[in-house]
Structure 1
Amino acid sequence: MRHETRPSLRRAAVVVMLFAALALVASPSARAQQGDGSPATPVGVAEVGERETSQTVPVVGRLVARRAGVVAAKGTGAVEQMAVDVGDVVEAGDLLARLDTESVSLEVDLAAAEVEQREAALEEARSRLALARQELERLSDLRRSAAFSQARYDDKSEEATGLGHAVSVAQATLTIARARLSLAEVALRDAEIRAPYPGVVTERHTEVGAFVTKGAPVVALLNNRDLEVEADVPFDLVDGLTAGDSVDVVLDDDTRSVAVLRALVPAEDARTRTRPARLTLPDAAAAGHDLAAGQSVTLFLPEGPAETVVVVPKDAVISNPSGATVFVVTNGVAQPRPVTLGNAVGDAFTVEGGLRPGDVVVTRGNERLRPGQPVRATVPPSARGGDAGPQG
């Protein structure tokens, strides 16, 4: 009996080893962990990185026109024509209104005739002076001759001097006449009231037939092509701003853009403890948008100095009742790890605990992973923890 038991034990041991080998071969996870080249789950991965960021505070501002106001009359007279109405779009130099030009046109004609008269008088005075100087030179040549008369020479010299003064007076009179002509021409030109800059007519202050004086309002004009952001900045945020800083802004249609701080006016409102700031919008922000003066804009102003934080892509985070978890890949194997998250920073979360820069996390396919599952990074990463992005 003893001799029959030993072969049976040996056969049983062989059977057990065979089943164990078959189980090992049948397990893909075991084969992958043993590095025999078995397939692993394809996933997208990203590296936990660092990002310079700062907390921001939303401040509501508004769009304002850099050039807007009343266009006034430069002359005096009755309104002969109103060339625009409220809502009309005009270019710089377009006609807005015209005053009666009948009397001003006559003044131009009168001044032009006076200029011609003064030019003729000047020409005559110059001719008489030239003749006197010519005669004086002839008499001077006779000094050594018996025909020379000192008295006649002195008379002609005095006459030439007087004619020289007459030329000077005629020249001055012509200058005055030309100035009067220029003033009349300016008055005629000012009878046409033109747009000083492009924009939209927002109000008409006068009508045809009304009499306006110099400086009276004619129309109100707003340049809606040159808008900027105006905001009242709380005093405790002023120290974090410098002219030239870039500030994230959101229009009321949720369009996001970046404005540049043009000026921070050093005039604080004692009641609200705020200071006015002006920011310039890029041309691309206005493209395709019907922007208007007074439109609301939300600015995200830095609450303090920028700091470097550890960030993990949002796609890597799995939320569950017990907290946030990410799958960290080490040596081709994904293991879940609980993490403590902070604020959102663009396409990532700040990390307060559980991860370090350089850790590789799964960003795609992490919903179907199991602890200890082999993975391979074949899907392009959805984000990089260290990439720059919108800051919040």
Structure 2
Amino acid sequence: MVDTCPRLPERLRHRAPFAVALLILLIVFIGIYLWRDARLSPSAAGRARPPVEVSAQTVELEALPQSLEATGSLQSVHAVTLAPEVAGRVVAIRFEAGSRVDAGTPLVELYDAPERAERADALSRAQFARRQDERSRRLAPSDTISKQLLEQREAELEQADAAVQRIDARLSQKTIRAPFAGLIGIRRVDLGQYVNAGDALATLAALDQLYVNFTVPQQDLARLRLGSETTVRTDAFPDWAFPARINAIEPMVEQDTRNIRVQATLANPGQMLRPGLYVTVSVAQPMRPSAILVPATAIQTGPSGDSVFVVRSDRAEPVPVVTGQRRGDRVVVEAGLSPGDRVITSGQLRVQPGATVRVAPPKIASGSPG
């Protein structure tokens, strides 16, 4: 039998499967494009998805108290580590750890018997020199003694008195006294212990008044004033705010950090605070008459910066903003918003740009009047 069906050329028969596959891919791509276009069109999106329920807040201008925030630590106005000036054996300890002492109170005494014996000998010599001087002065008007001998007697008396004073100074070094009134710390010495000059015996700190040391960036120098009121807080007493006042501003800027050291004086009548505590400092600034604040939950942070969703014509529009200080659970918006804008505060994670939204009415707390 003779085959009467026309045959394709050999070259076309090899290319036919590729042409069919290319046609199928083209049809698939066209279908995907049409489906995506229909899905993203506003009319289709409106039919496919209901409005997203969100919470929103209308922003208004409000007065904002200003403050300069910094971190620092507390320091005693008067604090010292008690240490002997000379070596010796401890023969008396006259304080209890943690007790309050007055200025001049004897705290630790070292063995001083040799010095006391030397003082008795020097005092005896001084008394004899004084009698000799008095006798010479009585005989001087009658020219019984020479002027040279009279001057010698006066010099011997001065030397004897100086010897007594020198031994008294050495004796005073054997007794360590409180240089000022304050709270004494943990005892670091025991009775009978031999101590060298400079060995730490205990710490003494005056707690009635403290210094607050903190640093601020150099760009905030113009906002600092001597006598400015500050508020000090610490996590040791989270519910307390302690008033202080700036008493010194370092005249030079630190070369390494470009910060300025500032010191404030803090009254501590109840002695609640202790030196070394980490604190946060708020320096009061003039009131800002108008500012826009939004809840921190409204701010979205992305690669291009911060932004918020604003409800306009029942649609969510992303608006880039410039944020400032954080005040509690709210953030100051320096640029990007205007009074009257309705900012989405919750539910924005389910919102796409341009999506239709429905603002839920504010919830009323349970038990409050309707």
Scaled by the length of structure 1, the TM-score of the pair is 0.54
Does the CA contact (< 8 Å) of 1:203 and 1:221 recur in 2? no
In structure 2, do the counterparts of structure 1 residues 61 and 86 end up closer, same or farther at CA, with 3 Å as the change threshold?
A: same
Q: How does 1:1-392 map to 2 (within 5 A)?
A: 55-132=66-143, 163-252=146-235, 253-281=238-266, 283=267, 286-288=268-270, 290-301=272-283, 306=286, 309=289, 353=339
Does the CA contact (< 8 Å) of 1:204 and 1:218 recur in 2? yes
Task: Tell me which amino acid in the other structure corresponds to 1:68.
Answer: A
Does the CA contact (< 8 Å) of 2:231 and 2:242 recur in 1? yes
In structure 2, do the counterparts of structure 1 residues 175 and 50 end up closer, same or farther at CA, with 3 Å as the change threshold?
A: farther
d(CA) in 1 for partners of 2:325, 2:217: 23
In structure 2, do the counterparts of structure 1 residues 310 and 239 end up closer, same or farther at CA, with 3 Å as the change threshold?
A: closer
Shift of 1:167: 1.1
In structure 2, do the counterparts of structure 1 residues 295 and 213 end up closer, same or farther at CA, with 3 Å as the change threshold?
A: closer
d(CA) in 1 for partners of 2:95, 2:271: 25
d(CA) in 2 for partners of 1:257, 1:215: 36
Shift of 1:224: 2.3
Unaligned runs of 5+ in 1: 1-48, 133-159, 312-321, 324-341, 355-366, 370-392
In structure 2, do the counterparts of structure 1 residues 100 and 199 end up closer, same or farther at CA, with 3 Å as the change threshold?
A: same
Does the CA contact (< 8 Å) of 2:107 and 2:176 recur in 1? yes
Shift of 1:112: 1.0
Partner of 1:153: none
Does the CA contact (< 8 Å) of 2:232 and 2:281 recur in 1? yes
Task: Tell me which amino acid in the other structure corresponds to 1:169.
Answer: Q
Does the CA contact (< 8 Å) of 2:209 and 2:265 recur in 1? no
Does the CA contact (< 8 Å) of 1:128 and 1:163 recur in 2? no
Does the CA contact (< 8 Å) of 2:111 and 2:174 recur in 1? yes
User: CA offsets, 1:133-162, max 9 Å, x none?
Assistant: xxxxxxxxxxxxxxxxxxxxxxxxxxx6x6
**Runs of 4+ in structure 1 displaced over 4 angstroms?**
213-216, 342-346
In structure 2, do the counterparts of structure 1 residues 183 and 216 end up closer, same or farther at CA, with 3 Å as the change threshold?
A: farther
d(CA) in 1 for partners of 2:287, 2:273: 35
Does the CA contact (< 8 Å) of 2:66 and 2:288 recur in 1? no
In structure 2, do the counterparts of structure 1 residues 121 and 287 end up closer, same or farther at CA, with 3 Å as the change threshold?
A: closer
Q: Could you say what the CA RMSD is over the residues aligned between the two structures, in angstroms?
A: 3.8
d(CA) in 2 for partners of 1:344, 1:242: 23
User: CA offsets, 1:309-367, max 9 Å, x none?
Assistant: 159xxxxxxxxxx99xxxxxxxxxxxxxxxxxx99999xxx9x758xxxxxxxxxxxx9
Does the CA contact (< 8 Å) of 2:75 and 2:212 recur in 1? yes
d(CA) in 1 for partners of 2:271, 2:184: 20
Partner of 2:49: none
d(CA) in 2 for partners of 1:167, 1:177: 16
**Count of residue pairs the alignment pairs up:** 248
1:173 is paired with a residue whose SS is helix
Shift of 1:66: 1.6
Does the CA contact (< 8 Å) of 2:208 and 2:269 recur in 1? no
d(CA) in 2 for partners of 1:288, 1:99: 35
d(CA) in 2 for partners of 1:75, 1:212: 8
2:275 is paired with a residue whose SS is coil
d(CA) in 2 for partners of 1:115, 1:289: 50
d(CA) in 2 for partners of 1:55, 1:198: 39
Task: Tell me which amino acid in the other structure corresponds to 2:82.
Answer: V
d(CA) in 1 for partners of 2:190, 2:150: 50
Does the CA contact (< 8 Å) of 2:209 and 2:269 recur in 1? no
Task: Tell me which amino acid in the other structure corresponds to 2:226.
Answer: A
Shift of 1:119: 0.8
d(CA) in 2 for partners of 1:121, 1:214: 40
Shift of 1:293: 1.5
Task: Tell me which amino acid in the other structure corresponds to 2:289.
Answer: V
Shift of 1:254: 2.6
Task: Tell me which amino acid in the other structure corresponds to 1:229.
Answer: V
What percentage of aligned pairs have identical amino acids? 23
Scaled by the length of structure 2, the TM-score of the pair is 0.56
Task: Tell me which amino acid in the other structure corresponds to 1:189.
Answer: S
In structure 2, do the counterparts of structure 1 residues 287 and 307 end up closer, same or farther at CA, with 3 Å as the change threshold?
A: closer
Shift of 1:250: 2.8
d(CA) in 2 for partners of 1:237, 1:343: 14
2:121 is paired with a residue whose SS is helix
Unaligned runs of 5+ in 2: 1-60, 292-309, 312-323, 333-337, 341-367
Shift of 1:260: 0.8
Shift of 1:234: 2.2
Does the CA contact (< 8 Å) of 1:205 and 1:220 recur in 2? no
